[in-house]
Every structure is written in structure tokens, then in C-alpha cells.
Structure 1
Amino acid sequence: MPIRITILIKKLDTVSTEDFHSYWSTKHPSIFLSVPTAQKLLLRYSQYHISRPLTTALRKGAHMPCLEPEFDGAAEFLVESLEDFGAIFADPIYESVVVPDEESFLKRGESMVFVGEEEMKWVDGKAAEGVVLK
């Protein structure tokens, strides 16, 4: 079963929210994906852009108990093994090209990492295999 890694990230204080989301969405992926090991070993890479206005709207409109987001986004990776994931971040190109890029827009030392196995429960408008509806 593939392993999912989610890294919660914070933008640098010196970078505006708009500039952070724009850069991370349009420029950073091509830099990160220039790492040959990433191209070879990643099954999936996606970004989750946290929206404070949408969080506020949910809190007010749906009366949901939502905390103010501490993070600005989440990078999500799907790999076959932890070894594969480690190989990507140990790649010399990652170290020499991607790390300096990340340091230009996010707080690497304040990232939070979650590792686990994804279980799909609802897919394409129906219960996933093994889910019994009552």
C-alpha cells in the first residue's frame, strides 16, 4: 500500500500571502520536479492552498468550530515506501536547487510532517470498496 506524506508549511513573514500562493503554485513545482529522483519515485505530488477567507466563511456560514489556520499550505506526496521518499530528499539536486528555492519563500524549520496510509471511503460519488452504507 502506498504511503502518503503531508508536509504543512508556513510562508516567510516577508512574503505576502498572494505572492506565496502564486510562487508556490506556478514556479516551485517545476523546480521541485527537476529532481530526477522525484520524477522517478513520486506516485503523486499535490499542493493544498489554505484559504483564510474560506475558513472564515465556513466558520460564519456553517457555524463550524474552525481555528485560525496556523499553516499556509500542505504539500502532499504519495510514494511506495519511506525509502523512496527519503531518496528524493537526499538527492544532491534537491539539496543544491530545491532547498535554496524553498528557503526563499517558506519557513522550512517550522514545517510539520504527517506520514500514514490513505484509506479511500468515498470516491466519485459512491462508497469505496469495503464501505457498507446503512
Structure 2
Amino acid sequence: MAERYSSFTPGGTGWLLQRITAAFLVVVLAFHFFQLHFITHAADVTFAGTQARMEHVGYFLTMVLFLVTATFHGINGVYNALVNQGLDGIQKKVVLAVLTIAGLALIAQGTYVALVMAGWA
């Protein structure tokens, strides 16, 4: 039988954060889907409606937290999948640096867009 290997240390911080972000994403994705498919039907989603929703502090914070959480969860998952496939040494450090920079850029750009949509920038 094949031996199970994971770059996550069971009970470690990375392992725990991956699970916490997954649980949070399930809840926020459900909210997001419900909001934009049942309350506001997809065909009725407009730029002005998005601006109106983003003006509410609770909605704004939820969407920014959604962005940060999804970015971390995705990048952490990709990085650990690559480590599980045998990535090591300098390549591992380069991939981590590139993914971290890409994640920070995504969060910065997404936060800026959210601020503009809310009329706060």
C-alpha cells in the first residue's frame, strides 16, 4: 500500500489555517451565492447595485475578508500541492516568493477595487 505524504504537519498552523479558511469560504460562498442568485437574480446584477451593496460596511468587510481568505486558501493549497509533488530547495523558495507576491498583489488590487466600489477611494 502507498504511503501517505502531506506537506502539512497535522495540527500545525498551516494545516489549521487551511481548514479554518475552508470552513469560512463555505459559509461566505453560500452567502454570496444566495445574495447574487436568489435575492438579486444574476440577470439583475448591475454596477450600480454592486456599488450600493459595497457601501454597507458589513457587506464591504465580508467581501474583503472573502478576498483575503480565498487568496490565502488558494495560494497555500497550490504551494503545498507543489511541495507534495517534490518541490524543494531553491525552487521551493522561489515558488513561495512568487506566490506570496502574487497573493499580495491580488489582495491589494481587490481591496482597491472594493474601496472604489464603496466610494471610499
Larger radius of gyration: 2
Give the strand-richer structure, 1 or 2.
Answer: 1
Whose RCO is larger (CA < 8 A, sep 6+)? 1
**Under a length normalisation based on structure 1, what TM-score does the superposition of the two structures give?**
0.26
TM-score in terms of structure 2 length: 0.28
